[in-house]
């Protein structure tokens, strides 16, 4: 039997993950703690509605999905929120990498 490929829970990411994890390394490190534990816990506790909502929120946070499509293109953020935070932290001289 072929080995099943496990994909990251964040919609639009598509990166492979290890079987026992829900998120790929990249999403895991970029998401805030409450978001990643929320996704993991919701899945483990079979709270499917919460799991879907949190995955969607994570995709928006990481810039994979755009739920603001009802806003005219001229008013939409073209830079994902995670990138904005990264840039602001760099501007303020804060280190995010451990
Ligand atoms: Zn991912």
pLDDT one-digit tens code per residue, 52-70: 999 999 999 998 876 556 6
Q: How many residues does the chain have?
A: 98
Q: How far is the CA of 50 from the centre of ligand 1 (A)?
A: 18
User: Ligand 1 mean position to 70 CA, how many Å?
Assistant: 26
The DSSP element (H or E) to which 77 belongs, if any, is: none
**How many Cα atoms occupy the beta-carbon half-sphere of 34 within 13 Å?**
1
How many Å lie between the centroid of ligand 1 and the Cα of residue 92? Answer: 27
pTM here? 0.64
Quick check: 98 pLDDT over 60? no
Q: 80: pLDDT confidence band, cut at 50, 70 and 90? A: confident
Which residues lie at CB < 5 A from ion ligand 1? 8, 10, 13, 15, 24, 27
Q: Which residue has the higher pLDDT, 12 or 42?
A: 42
CB distance 55 to 24 below 8 Å: no
């Amino acid at each position: 039997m072929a080995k099943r490929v496990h994909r990251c829970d964040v919609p639009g990411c598509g990166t492979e993950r290890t079987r026992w994890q829900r998120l790929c390394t990249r999403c895991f490190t970029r998401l805030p703690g409450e978001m990643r534990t929320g996704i993991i816990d919701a899945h483990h506790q079979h709270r499917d509605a919460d799991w879907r909502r949190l995955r969607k929120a994570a995709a928006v946070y990481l810039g994979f999905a755009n739920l603001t499509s009802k806003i005219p293109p001229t008013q939409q953020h073209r830079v994902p929120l995670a990138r904005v935070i990264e840039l602001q932290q760099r501007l303020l001289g804060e280190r995010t990498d451990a």
